[in-house]
Amino acid sequence: MKNMKKSVGVILSIFLIICLGYIFFEPTISKAIGDTAEVSQEVTEEITIDAPLDTSLTPSIPGVTGNPGSPSTASLTWNVITSNATGFNMKIKASQANALFLDGTYFFSDYSPQTTNVPDYSWTSPGTATAEFGFTVEPATDGDVVQTFLDNASDACNIESGSQTAGKCWLNFNGATDINIINRSIRTTQTGEDETVKFRADSKTKFLKEGNYKATITTTISSN
C-alpha cells in the first residue's frame, strides 16, 4: 500500500510538472486588427505682389530743344508670387490719357505707334513740337509676356509664337484702360517672378514748362 501511494505521488508530481511545463512553454496566440485614418489640411491658392518704389526718368529733358532721338528712360519691377497651378495674369494702366503730365497744358502725349494697338519694334522719335511717353515689357520668363510684346527679332511686334527682345516693342498707354502684359500659365517659385516695365520719354522742340512731370501707373494681378 505504501508503495502504491508513493507511485501515485510520483505520477501526480510528473503530471504537475508536465502541466506547469505546458503552461510555461505554451505558444503565445494573439490576434491583431490594423486600421488607418487620414488627416487632411486644405491649402488654398494665393497671389502676392511686391510694389516697387517710385522712379524718375533720366536724364532731364530741356524744355525748349528737347531730347529728340535720345529718350529719357526708367523702369519699374513688380515681383509676383503665386501658388496657383495655372499661374496669373498681369495688367497695366495709366491714370489718364497723356499719362506723363505737369498740368492740363503741359504734358507728354502718349506714344503713337505706327499701327494702333500694335507696338513699334523700335522706338520712334516724335515729330516736331511733339513730346511722347511710352513703355515696353520685359518679363522674368520670356514665354510669359502676352503676344502683343513678342517680336520677330527683326522689325515687327505682336508676332504669334515670337520671341521677346529686350528694349523692343514700344506701346502707348490707353488712358485708364487696362492693357494685358503678362499671362503666366504655371505657378511661380517661392521667390516669384520679376516683371519689369520700361518707360521712355522723348521731346522734339515741344515747349515744356519747367517742372516735375509725373505719371501714375497701376498694375493689377489676378489668378488664372
| Residue 11 falls inside a structural domain | no
Would the pLDDT of 210 be above 80? yes
First to last CA, the chain: 104
What is the DSSP code (8-state) at residue 148?
Answer: G
Is residue 122 included in any domain, yes or no? yes
> Span 213-224, mean pLDDT?
96
Across residues 135-150, what is the average pLDDT?
Answer: 96
Please state, in angstroms and as integers, the Cα–Cα distance from residue 55 to each residue in 62, 170, 172, 215, following that order. Answer: 19, 19, 19, 10
57 pLDDT band, cuts 50/70/90, is very high
Confidence of residue 51 (pLDDT cuts 50, 70, 90): confident
Average pLDDT of the chain, as a whole number: 90
What residues form DSSP beta bridges with 94?
217
Judge whether 45 lies within some domain: no
User: For residue 175, what pLDDT is reported?
Assistant: 85
Q: Is the pLDDT of residue 31 over 80?
A: no
Residue 2 confidence (pLDDT): 52
Query: What tens digit of pLDDT does each residue of 85-99 get?
Result: 999 999 999 999 999
Inter-residue contact 128 to 171 (CB < 8 Å): no
pLDDT tops 80 at residue 68: yes
Q: How far is the C-alpha of 34 from the C-alpha of 21, rounded, in Å?
A: 33
pLDDT value for 87: 97
Q: Number of folded domains in the chain?
A: 1
Looking at the predicted structure, is the pLDDT value of residue 15 above 80? no
Does residue 217 surpass a pLDDT of 60? yes
**Is 165 part of any domain?**
yes
Residue 214 lies in a domain: yes
Domain membership of residue 184 (yes or no) is: yes
In this structure, of 34-38, 67-71, 185-189, 204-208, the range with the lowest mean pLDDT score is 34-38
| Residue 33 within a domain | no
Structure confidence at residue 5 (pLDDT): 54
Q: For residue 127, give Cα distances in angstroms to 18, 105, 175.
A: 118, 18, 21
Its pTM stands at 0.83
Q: Determine the 3-state secondary structure of 200 from DSSP.
A: strand
Query: What per-residue confidence (pLDDT) applies to 34?
Result: 86
Residue 204 pLDDT level (bands cut at 50, 70, 90): very high
Show the domain range for 116. Answer: 63-223
- Give residue 33's pLDDT: 84
pLDDT reported for residue 32:
80
Binned at pLDDT 50, 70 and 90, residue 134 comes out as very high
Asked if residue 76 is part of any domain, the answer here is: yes
- pLDDT over threshold 90, residue 76: yes
